[in-house]
Structure 1
Amino acid sequence: MSNLGSFVWGIADVLRGPYKPHEYGNVILPMTILRRIDCVLEETHEEVQKLVKKAEGAAEDLLAAMIQRKTHLPFYNTSPWTMHKLLGDPEDLEQNLVQYISGFSANLDVFQRFGFIQQIHRLAEKNLLFLVFQRFVAIDLSPSKVSNAEMGDLYEHLIRTFNESSNESPGEHFTPRDAIRLMVELIFAGDDEALSKPGTIRTVYDPTAGTGGMLSIAEEHLIGTPEHPGMNPQAQLNLYGQEWNDQSYAICKSDLLIKGQDASNIQLGDTLADDKFAGMTFDYCLSNPPYGTDWKASEAAVKDEIARLGEHSRFPAGHPAISDGQMLFLEHVVSKIRPASQGGGRAGIVMNGSPLFNGDAESGPSNIRKWLLESDLVDAIVALPTDMFYNTGISTYIWVLDNAKPAERRGTVQLINATEFYTKMRKKLGDKGRELSPENRAAILELYAEHTEGENSKILRVDEFGYWAVTVERPLLCENGEPILDKKGKPQPDKSIKAKDKIEKIPFTYGGNTDGDAGRKETVAAYMKAEVEPYLPGAWADEKKTKIGYEIPFTRHFYKYVPPRPLAEIDAELKRVSAEIVAMLQEVME
């Protein structure tokens, strides 16, 4: 792939000048897709031409059915051209290439998304069309030479390179394939017996499909390739996805069409505002929603859906702050996994750390966590190594969701610390300096399968994530230090203390009693007596202001205390360094 990527990227040298770096992708990406499709159609071109003549004047549906029956391909081109033939008529290349693009079947709408015909005219105007076209014709992108997986790698390489050259974020388009493979392996885990049966049919859906990497790797893992059979080559995996970015959608759709998937299963649009698969659910879901990105464009539609449908909407627990839509995608994904009454479904979604703990008690994020945990939807959360993604080195986590957990996993959440399970890359790609090797993934999957407590695995009951946010009031004191009482003889609260400084988070499990109001009152009373009153005499809990919150303090559960160095050792080092500095200063002064 690296040689192929470098070759295609080298075509940018031809564009330099009339095109700016951020515009290269507008030419190279659709040209790469066109060359791939042209290579796929080349073998059946003559047969298709005969069918086009035979069906002259017939309805398009009839022609499509005739071609698909003959070629077993879900798309076609009715023009007399191939890229090799176009190259033979340089003088008329511009108009003939437009005719070729216009000859594709209606389900192949990808070139419109790039505005490719306009680019053809622009290239011709700058006398670049033949030069660029000639270079693409020279590369063989037929499936026998370049596998689907290699094409996926090529698309990702090009997108990442283009975005780096224009200072844009490649993370908006795709997730590293090593991370995707782990996600796929995690959501398929536990379904091995069913997935191994001949004739098994499953569906997988990605609401943030990007270029289709997650869908492709899911198919590769289950079905496999001619060179590397998957879990069950006799199985069928139907792929579904929605993507908002036009170019990513175009790449995803063309890639899946070439694999023989139904083109209508890839939809263009804003998933949060307009679910193109409304009413549908799937066996598996995969997603990498954008991190820290606001959802203002979707706000009106999301809030309208919540107002109209309430708990029957895709967002039954409400919504997070407008500044970050990750948790909306989390709720959406839950709504798209097959109901437990129909056998259940599983999902993998990768997010940054904020959905674990952001928001105060009874805020949007806390309420979403409460709903997920109390509904027993969270199966496991895996902390990935840092420096895993191309555009960020921050901590990321895979949430594994399951609405039909096996008995031994019900009522619990498994936390897996995989931050040290990585292999260093010889050369960084953007911010990505670490990857998950097959051995790393196998070790993580073994921790998941064993489902036991250990150094890198914790099994926690759902109620261990809940807490009461209790407002602790302190008495207002007079000059002599005595509490000031109100008309009823009760101490007045000190209103000079900020509300946030009055909050104590009392875990549900503090003292071991979590049953109902009586359990809460008993727990709060025990906490106040042991943890507050010795330090704040006269303080009391304002029960009317108590709120329920949920958070997942992942790091706390894997914290390892590292004792400080002995003072004598630190003192000796300071003396040594001081002596070195004095010696260097003396050398300068001499």
Structure 2
Amino acid sequence: MDDKTIQQAKTLANFVWQIADILRGDFKQSEYGKVILPFVVLRRLDCILEPSKGAVLRAQLSLPQGIDEQTRDMMLFGAIGGGIRVYNTSKLTFASIKAQNPAQLHDNLIAYITSFSTSVKDVFLDKFLFTDQLKRLSEAAILWKVFEQFAALDLKPQSVSTLAMGYLFEDLIRRFSEISNETAGEHFTPREVIRLIVDLLLVNDAQALTGKGIIRQVYDPACGTGGMLALTEEGMKDLNPDVRVELFGQELNGESFGICKSDMLVTGHDPENIAFGNTLTHDAHKGRKFHYMLSNPPYGVDWKKYQEPIKAEAETKGTDGRFGAGLPRISDGQLLFLQHMISKMRDDEAGSRIGIVMNGSPLFTGGAGSGESEIRRWMLEKDWVEAIVALPTDLFYNTGIQTYVWLLTNRKRKERRGRVQLIDASGEQFWKPMRKNLGSKRREIRDDARETIARIFHEMANGGGPWAEVSKIFDTTDFGYREIKVERPLRLNFQACVERIERLKLAKPFMKLDPAEQDDVLNVVTNRLSDALFKDRPTFEVALAKALKGAGVKIGAPVKKVILAALSERDETAAICRDGDGNPEPDPELRDYELVPLKEDWRAYVAREVAPFLPDAWVDEAYRDDADRGVGRVGYEINFNRYFYRYHPPRALAEIDAELKTLEVDIAGLLNEVAG
């Protein structure tokens, strides 16, 4: 992307942002976007449609009587040409409205907006709720000032490209989200990150996209303003100008949806392919499959408020639904979006490719048997994961966290089957600092670095050559493990000492006894068992029974149990406690879990890693995996740090000492200034 386009977008954003000064006092800062964004869209549409205004009005006059809405739309679209699927049948334009009496401005704008084709009119009325904002502006007597500023803004396509408009919207929405304290997961994907995802999706498909009559469907389930869809189409057109690209998306935020749908209208795409609503609870493209899918879903955002339909679908439909592999924890829904996308992979020879950017949580959060681990297991055992690319930090506008691009496909090439490529593109050789920060965005991926990452992926670089430190390929099973339960025997000593008798007094079954019964039990353990130390439970049980019998005291099983518990303490030198069959009882406090690599036999692992250090330990073979019924629960995690760890030696002591001495001198000087 050329710097000129980016700079143009920034200049426009600064100009538009200044208009917000007019709103100050009458609108809260968090409400600025509700005025500014629809006005930008309206002005852009006005600039696009102004040259064809006469042709549309003439076409409207020639429409046959009783014509249906669909035919009417197609005839008026044809009058505009250029694939634009929006029209306005009013004689008004921003220029003509400006030339009229300012007192008529509110009515003129309402008439202008309601004269748009249905799709655009609905966006302004239902999603932007723009008529409400116009009323507030009019009542505050600032509508003319705001309109006048936008009327002076040149947003003609020949002056401002679609790409520059995309940057403009992103910059504005970033600013509005910052002053509204939006969460870290609700941010926009920088264009260089989108281009990297597109490059990775298409780098192996150049031949498949070549030729005439190629049609491809692209889908983003959290499409925002449509940046990912637009750049994917651009990347495919670069490979084959004749390819027909059909764009589909769904978006929950009304303002972003309105911008995206408006963009589809003016670029010749079917606006009905962009749906409004929550993708996870209402799949607006149910039954559809797509060639390419890419997304940057919200992360670190919980799905508690709409968990019921998701859990219901997972329980009732299982693997026939979208969430059959498992449900992640309620605090993060990223893996729900990924499962949704997988459910839309095509079953034909063409198959599908997925590119999704997420934070580190989906890589390793959740132990064996958890929802996250089961989802990872499902994807890896199905052999859908092609590669995962670690990106630099500080790439996004509202958060500086580490992010990762996952690449999945159900049509892996032969050499990739059963394997996953990890690429660590977080190093300094892949990014450059920005001259001026944009929110939390302090870095950007260089164009040459983006090409390098795509080439590393395409060539399947694996631990050798110039990229040995940044690219490694593993078998899918390398990320799997068995979590086995390791038990150690329970060893207890028993003694009726003061401290332990006090524990007995606080035990609930003991406290439920009558006072007289309590006294009888206390007399037995205090006077008849004395302070003798027993290191064998059966011996103590015999002594206890004898003491109770000798005192003529009878107790039930619950009371006996609390006596044994209260008067016992763990003792490594005591005899092993055994059950009725003579087997050692496990000590819950000494219980441990070992993660055995999936490729290794757990018996050999225990013999090597456990038995030499804990000779009395054993594996609970009843602790088994629900799916394969093998000993231990199967889990999967992908830990980048483990595979790309770089040792950084500590600084020399002399260097640290010198720094401390310098700091001491500085502190002493500051103290002298304060004292003086």
Q: Does 1:534 align with 2:618?
A: no
Distance 2:454 2:146 in 1: 46
Distance 2:106 2:90 in 1: 14
Q: Does 1:288 align with 2:301?
A: no
Contact 1:474 1:540 in 2 (8 A): yes
Partner of 1:91: 103
Partner of 2:350: 343
Structure 1's unaligned 5+ residue stretches are: 224-229, 511-522
- TM-score, normalized by length of structure 1? 0.92
Partner of 1:141: 155
Greater Cα shift, 62-71 or 80-89: 62-71
Partner of 1:484: 577
Q: Does 1:378 align with 2:389?
A: no
Partner of 1:547: 633
How big is each residue's C-alpha offset from its partner over 1:158-177, in whole Å with a ceiling of 9 and x where there is no partner?
A: 11112223332475242111
Distance 1:265 1:198 in 2: 24
Give the Å deviation of 1:56.
Answer: 6.7
Work out which of the residue numbers 603, 612, 615 in structure 2 matches 1:525. Answer: 603
Partner of 1:581: 664
Partner of 2:644: 558
Greater Cα shift, 73-82 or 475-484: 475-484
Report the residue type matching 2:160 in the other structure: V
SS of residue paired to 1:205? strand
Work out which of the residue numbers 34, 47, 58 in structure 2 matches 1:50. Answer: 58
CA RMSD of aligned residues (A): 2.0
Contact 1:15 1:24 in 2 (8 A): yes
Structure 2's unaligned 5+ residue stretches are: 1-8, 463-467, 493-534, 536-572, 624-631
Contact 2:216 2:244 in 1 (8 A): yes
Q: Does 1:247 align with 2:258?
A: no
Partner of 1:110: 123
Greater Cα shift, 473-482 or 403-412: 473-482
How big is each residue's C-alpha offset from its partner over 1:449-482, in whole Å with a ceiling of 9 and x where there is no partner?
A: 1113121111000111111000000111244344
Contact 2:34 2:130 in 1 (8 A): yes
Contact 2:59 2:79 in 1 (8 A): no
Would the alpha carbon gap of residues 579 and 49 (structure 1) be closer, same or farther in structure 2, given more than 3 Å must change? closer
Q: Does 1:509 align with 2:599?
A: yes
Distance 2:183 2:171 in 1: 13
Contact 1:171 1:389 in 2 (8 A): no
Distance 2:364 2:665 in 1: 49
Distance 2:372 2:344 in 1: 20
Would the alpha carbon gap of residues 584 and 422 (structure 1) be closer, same or farther in structure 2, given more than 3 Å must change? closer
Equivalences for residues 448-467 of structure 1 within 5 A: 448-453=457-462, 454-467=468-481
Partner of 1:516: none
Partner of 1:213: 227
Give the Å deviation of 1:282.
Answer: 0.4
Contact 1:170 1:390 in 2 (8 A): no
How big is each residue's C-alpha offset from its partner over 1:519-573, in whole Å with a ceiling of 9 and x where there is no partner?
A: xxxx1111111111222220011111121111111210001233445xxx41674
Aligned residue pair count:
565
Contact 1:424 1:433 in 2 (8 A): yes
Q: Does 1:435 align with 2:444?
A: yes
Distance 2:267 2:584 in 1: 74
Contact 1:164 1:170 in 2 (8 A): no
Give the Å deviation of 1:127.
Answer: 1.2
Would the alpha carbon gap of residues 575 and 18 (structure 1) be closer, same or farther in structure 2, given more than 3 Å must change? closer
Percent identity over the alignment?
Answer: 47
Partner of 2:88: 77
SS of residue paired to 1:496? helix
Distance 1:318 1:252 in 2: 31
Work out which of the residue numbers 359, 363, 377 in structure 2 matches 1:356. Answer: 363
Give the Å deviation of 1:62.
Answer: 2.7
Contact 2:297 2:334 in 1 (8 A): yes
Distance 1:62 1:329 in 2: 37
SS of residue paired to 2:443? strand
Distance 2:409 2:64 in 1: 52
SS of residue paired to 2:119? coil
Work out which of the residue numbers 570, 574, 577 in structure 1 matches 2:653. Answer: 570
Contact 2:187 2:396 in 1 (8 A): no
SS of residue paired to 1:491? coil
- TM-score, normalized by length of structure 2? 0.81
Give the Å deviation of 1:46.
Answer: 0.8
Give the Å deviation of 1:487.
Answer: 2.9
Distance 1:572 1:337 in 2: 57
Partner of 1:518: none
Greater Cα shift, 136-145 or 273-282: 136-145
Partner of 1:65: 74
Report the residue type matching 1:383 in the other structure: A
Distance 1:181 1:583 in 2: 48
Would the alpha carbon gap of residues 470 and 257 (structure 1) be closer, same or farther in structure 2, given more than 3 Å must change? same
Contact 1:173 1:248 in 2 (8 A): no
Would the alpha carbon gap of residues 309 and 572 (structure 1) be closer, same or farther in structure 2, given more than 3 Å must change? closer
Distance 2:364 2:183 in 1: 25
How big is each residue's C-alpha offset from its partner over 1:371-415, in whole Å with a ceiling of 9 and x where there is no partner?
A: 000000100000000111111111110000111100010100000
Distance 1:154 1:324 in 2: 30
Distance 1:581 1:148 in 2: 58
Equivalences for residues 146-165 of structure 1 within 5 A: 146-165=160-179
Contact 1:160 1:170 in 2 (8 A): no
